[in-house]
Amino acid sequence: MLIRPEPAKALSARQECAILTHAVARNPGSASLRLRLARLLNQLDAFDEAIAVLTAPDAATPNSPDYGACMALAAAWFGRDQPGDTVRAHHTAIRAEALATTSTQRSAALADQGKALLRLDRLNAARDRLTKALRRDPGNMPACRHLATELLRTGDTEAAIAMTDRLAAQGIGHARLFMARMLAFAQLDRIAEARAIIDPERFRHRRILTPPLGWADIAAFNTALVEELKTHPGLRYERHGTASRSTWRIDALATGAAPIARALLAQIAETAERHVAALSDIAHPWLAARPDRGELRSWCVITEGEGFEQWHAHPFGWMSGVYYAQVPDTVVTGSDAGGCIAFGLPDGLIGADRAAQFGEDLVRPQPGLLMLFPSHSYHRTFPHGAEDRRICVSFDIWPA
């Protein structure tokens, strides 16, 4: 498997957004510029602004023949989530389906309809839309997620397994499928089968990273990396729809303003390639689903004393990981869970007893530690309570 970091971006999302705002002001009739701007505004959690851009009198409104604008507007309604917004998102997704020209587009619009119907407690209709979305596009990850979650929530666990069996028979092997199977097996008390889906003893990897060329040791490299990250143009506080709570983050790490971070990503890519090569002879559904080429996409999470990550997995990756650039001394030498990362299963859908049976593996971070794991591995972190910040670089390896 060939793994390469994603191409460096010249601008941060905020910088690009400022340029596009001026461009739209000069060319208000450009539907493509408005769509690019709206998608960036959604990414920056500026949902009111995105809605305004897409519904302005001279914009490509949902009544115009523009599928992309409808989908971006639905995303903005979902993100803003004010009274009436879910109904608006549902209506917009219906318009998007009518404007779709491919099965993939129709599937995405149906998945958004299903998401809205779940929020509106119209559960049978939601199941219908999500099932249709998967028929149109078996690889539709949001549809898989929402349908599996609803089946597990209502105790229809065998149906959840049957759904993933059907998708797997069609060659689907994304993280959402493995996440759903793992939760379903755990819900049925088939704990060994659930753990076999992540097989942590074989697939989870950790080591102190070798410093990139030109650096004498990893400590000196980390010092320079931390200084670069503190002044990164993409630094922001929190982001809608992520597992982070009370954290600073950089959504797109690789920019022209971050040469040290780019050196880190290149080193991580090389290490991940070697790890994957060492697993190549193992027969496992996750390994069978590995892409021939992978693109390493990264972000940075900076936590102060109260910051933490809720239970989550990385649905868009095949392999994921984290690199610790700075860790408070109280975490490195501590004896409790403060500041640590834990792997296990969330108890929300399977109950505390089954989550305890599945087990929770606690890993104590230290500066220079690199961890690699299947993207469908659920994990969380704990507040560290220290004055110093914990700074880590997280990443997914996407199919290129």
Residue finishing a domain among 151, 173, 196: 196
Q: What is the pLDDT of residues 89-129, one digit of tens each?
A: 999 999 999 999 999 999 999 999 999 999 999 999 999 99
Residue finishing a domain among 179, 196, 213: 196
Domain range enclosing 76 = 2-196
Task: Please check the confidence at residue 62 and state whether its pLDDT lies above 50.
Answer: no
Specify the pLDDT at position 59.
66
Q: Are residues 157 and 212 in the same domain?
A: no
Q: Are residues 127 and 233 in the same domain?
A: no
Task: Please check the confidence at residue 63 and state whether its pLDDT lies above 60.
Answer: no
Q: Are residues 183 and 242 in the same domain?
A: no
CA-angle at 25, arms to 20 and 28, nearest 5°: 100
Residue 219 burial class via C-beta count within 10 angstroms: exposed 0-12, middle 13-18, buried 19 and up:
exposed
Kind plus residue range of the DSSP H or E element containing 35: helix 31-43
Specify the pLDDT at position 85.
99
Q: Are residues 206 and 171 in the same domain?
A: no
Specify the pLDDT at position 64.
57
Predicted confidence band at 65 (pLDDT cuts at 50, 70, 90)? low
Contact indicator for 126, 151 with CB cutoff of 8 Å:
no
Q: Are residues 374 and 233 in the same domain?
A: yes
Q: How far apart are CA 276 and CA 391, in angstroms?
A: 26
Look up the pTM and report it: 0.94
Q: What is the pLDDT of residues 349-358, one digit of tens each?
A: 899 999 999 9
Total structural domains in the chain?
2
pLDDT mean over 65-79 = 94
**What CATH number is attached to the domain comprising 333?**
2.60.120.620
Q: Are residues 158 and 224 in the same domain?
A: no
Residue finishing a domain among 196, 230, 264: 196
Q: Are residues 27 and 103 in the same domain?
A: yes
Q: Are residues 13 and 81 in the same domain?
A: yes
Q: Are residues 29 and 42 in the same domain?
A: yes
* Percent of the chain whose predicted confidence (pLDDT) is above 70: 98
Task: Please check the confidence at residue 138 and state whether its pLDDT lies above 90.
Answer: yes
Q: Are residues 126 and 166 in the same domain?
A: yes
Q: Could you tell me the strand order of the sheet in which 379-381 lies?
A: 361-363, 341-343, 379-381
> What single DSSP character describes residue 255?
B
**What CATH number is attached to the domain comprising 50?**
1.25.40.10
Q: Are residues 189 and 232 in the same domain?
A: no
Q: Are residues 31 and 150 in the same domain?
A: yes
